[in-house]
Structure 1
Amino acid sequence: MSVDAEKTASKGSNWETVRVVIHALILALIVRVFLFQPFNIPSGSMIPTLLIGDYLFVSKYTYGYSRYSFPFGLNLFSGRVWAAEPKRGDVVVFKLPRDNETDYIKRVIGLPGDEIQMIHGVLHINGEAVDKKKVGDFVTEAVGGRERHFTRYMETLPNGVTYPVLDLVNEGVGDNTDVYEVPEGHFFMMGDNRDNSTDSRFLSEVGFVPFENLVGKAQVIFFSIDEDASFWQVWRWPTDVRWDRIFKTVN
């Protein structure tokens, strides 16, 4: 093979590599924008369902698309297209109504038209107490290796969705509330860690969440690492990765 032929073959090979990379990037962008977006859990408001250090995929298509489905909240249109309302009990990522920028993740408790109230730590929906049963303690490790135990309950919504909640203190600040009337086109969100969650119970902080602000539904945990470690610290994976949580569905 001549030198010119070798150069031509080399250029062709380099261009093929670049083309493959470009196609892969375009495909990844399409998947992220329209199908699944990764999120990580930075706080304990959804413990025990989600832990600090969980990384999960959120389906963008489940509820249709709004301006907040796209990077930088591009104002391409108003409302939602191919809209489908969330079901009571879904774990949802949404944009905080106060700034329409910050990502929050909570559970859908109240639908449009519902009346929601907390009475002595018991959730009431439309005047009826939600079934709540104690199922033992949630155990975590405090500073110094000492175990901490928190009361763990299973809560069952009117549509049959069951999930765990924590009760850290009796008669906490969000355990007794007025009646919240959920406006049309809005949803009432709460964290599963009831005494450590800033959610719709606090109107000036979160309040009712517009349908347009929903980003997607949490589907599956694809990675999980101890909260004191970071994803990029590969050398800590053998001891700090929570292997039993990987590929766990979010319910």
Structure 2
Amino acid sequence: MDKLYSFLENKTVNYLTHKKALKAYEKSKKKTILTEIWSWLDALIFAVVVVIILNQFLFQLFLIPSPSMVSTLNIGDRVIVSKVSYGIEAYPTGPKLFSDSRRVQRDDIITFYNPEYDSKGPFFDILSQIIYYSTLSLVNIDRNEDGSIAERLYVKRAVGFGGDNVKFKDGNVLIKPAGYNNYITEESYREANELSNGPHRSVDSTLYDGMHAWGRLYALQENSINVVPQHLKNSYESVKDQYMFDRYEFENNRTLMNTLINPTDMNARSEHGHYRAGIYVPENYVLPLGDNRDNSSDGRYFGPVKESTINGKVVGRFWPLGSVGIVK
């Protein structure tokens, strides 16, 4: 690592020394509009190249685009991501150097490549990243059809590790760490291991009966069944006007009802099996979850991610000014 820093430092010093000599020479020449424009353009190109190199190999400025980490990180927060915490990425999505001894630690807030990102082509991907890096995260042209920012990178908390089993029930996380015989609540595990208290549930626990009913009623509708149990209708009344709901629990009950409607439907049984069995985390994988458990597209839906796809660690927040500091 020291050799890399020394190399970059020497190259920068040599370049600047050369620039200084050229500037002295230019002063002795008669300046024209074209030489002035070229001088400014040359300086701008150099600045952009330096910024891109710094963003790729050392640190990156990142804008939080979604509510998945509220209130640890809010929409619009700008954070500093260390690009050397887990090894140095040779190029975007490429292999990492010096990564053998730099492993992700439980509870780190990580950035990783979105497994569900819809690429718009290599040219656009490269161009959008150059613009994003060179403007210090101020300009992002990578947008979805609705105009929202396309999340090429996700920011989540590293929760599950190799050998862990993780289940989700009514907004709560149950963990069976590697070597344990039983599941324990995430809250008790965090307290016992002095981990962050950032992860939380926003949906009131009394609303979960209504969400169970909502998912089951949706399955009945999908199967064109019009005879609906009255108790499901009554439970649904408590949530039908609610803005927030637990999508995972909704899908859990929707798929469960599909298996009850037709127990011989193997596709339905397989779909529900994902929710019933929970998630096993293989070795060299990490299960990332958002701190805002009720409103986060995370590992519950796309599963564990390879450590090789994790390209940085959030180490601090620099905007807004009132929230500047270390992020944990």
TM-score bin (small chain): 0.5 to 0.7
Query: Which structure has the greater CA radius of gyration?
Result: 2
Is 1:212 matched with 2:212? no
Selected match of 2:288 from 167, 172, 189: 189
Q: SS state of the match for residue 156, structure 1?
A: helix
- In the alignment, which residue of structure 2 is the partner of 1:82? 98
- In the alignment, which residue of structure 1 is the partner of 2:230? none
* CA distance, structure 2, for counterparts of residue 89 and residue 111 of structure 1: 10
- In the alignment, which residue of structure 2 is the partner of 1:129? 185
Identity of aligned residues (%): 30
In structure 1, stretches of 5+ residues that fail to align are 133-154, 225-242
Larger strand proportion of the pair: 1
Q: How does 1:139-218 map to 2 (within 5 A)?
A: 156=190, 159-169=193-203, 170=205, 171=208, 172-174=246-248, 177=275, 178-202=277-301, 206-218=302-314
Change (3 A) 1:212 1:115: same
**What's the CA shift string for 1:2-24, capped at 9, x where partnerless?**
xxx9761648x958766655543
One-letter code of the match for 2:111?
A: V
Q: Aligned residue pairs: how many?
A: 195
* CA distance, structure 1, for counterparts of residue 248 and residue 191 of structure 2: 19
Contact preservation (8 Å) 2:106, 2:159: yes
One-letter code of the match for 2:308?
A: E
Q: How does 1:113-128 map to 2 (within 5 A)?
A: 113-126=163-176, 127-128=183-184
* CA distance, structure 2, for counterparts of residue 37 and residue 209 of structure 1: 21
* RMSD of equivalent CA atoms: 2.9
- In the alignment, which residue of structure 2 is the partner of 1:249? 326
* CA distance, structure 1, for counterparts of residue 65 and residue 165 of structure 2: 30
* CA distance, structure 1, for counterparts of residue 77 and residue 297 of structure 2: 19
One-letter code of the match for 2:293?
A: R
**What's the CA shift string for 1:86-140, capped at 9, x where partnerless?**
11111111112234862111110001111112234332221222226xxxxxxxx
Q: Which moved more, 1:21-30 or 1:56-65?
A: 21-30
TM-score normalized by the length of structure 1 = 0.67
In structure 2, stretches of 5+ residues that fail to align are 1-25, 120-151, 177-182, 209-245, 253-274
Post-superposition offset of 1:212: 1.5
One-letter code of the match for 2:76?
A: G
Larger helix proportion of the pair: 2
Contact preservation (8 Å) 1:88, 1:159: no
Q: SS state of the match for residue 108, structure 1?
A: strand
Q: Which moved more, 1:118-127 or 1:34-43?
A: 118-127
Contact preservation (8 Å) 2:162, 2:281: yes
* CA distance, structure 1, for counterparts of residue 175 and residue 187 of structure 2: 11
Contact preservation (8 Å) 1:117, 1:123: yes
Is 1:49 matched with 2:72? yes
